[in-house]
Amino acid sequence: MPRYFIEVAYMGTRYSGFQVQLNANTIQAEVARALKIFFGKEFELTGSSRTDAGVHAVQNFFHFDTGTEISSKAVYSLNAILPYDIVVKNIVEVKPEAHCRFNAISRTYHYHITRFKNPFCFGRAYYYPFKANINLLQELATAITTFNNFTSFSKKKTQVKTFNCTIEYSRWIFEDNNWRYEIKGDRFLRGMVKGLVGTMLKLSKHNKTIADLADIFEKQNPSAADFSVASDGLFLMSVEFKESIFHNLV
């Protein structure tokens, strides 16, 4: 049976996360509902990156199997059914063994901060008017690439086989009153990016050092990190796969 990747983007403000949950509205629930309305049948969706409540995505994926023919008009029709804050960007046929979660080779996240109250950033950036040492923030971001065990930056009771992640780059971009933290890695744990951002801001505010960051990593305890920053500023920017898993675009 053919397998398809469905590429989506969304504002996560109104949703309880990406993956389906009981008694909560999620991105997966809305996409599954739209598919059922358009095709008249249930689709079993498997998600790629499980963004938390309030987190946004410029690119994320589901995969599903179906013997139903998927034509080019499906994208337009699904978008007509979906709410305003979710969009289907594409539907791509892949090889039958392709998996949108396990075959992802990297993910990129951005975290946006506004230094001044700005109504046009509401829901899209974290308002942080406090003092911060930008040189230290950059040093801390660079140091993050030297660590592998991110237990301290994973929410408690996260069920994974390993807390090891390989970070390709970690950096801050400072543009006047708009700051952006960018990070790319092979995998991410629940709450990891927010934990990193919150911890860096806290260390910077109190003029700590890279040694203090290393101590948090070494403790391997989420209680040592700071997860207090809001979800508003977090965007999953992209999920990358090897081209070999794809067939032709639909």
What residues act catalytically? 52
The structure tokens listed for 65 are 């199997």
Residue 74 and residue 35: Cα distance in Å, rounded? 9
Pairing assessment for the beta strands 104-114 and 167-175 based on DSSP bridges = unpaired
Q: CA triplet 84, 85, 88: central angle to 5 degrees?
A: 90
Residue 109's nearest CA partner among 55, 163, 31, 153 is: 55
Residue 63 and residue 61: Cα distance in Å, rounded? 7
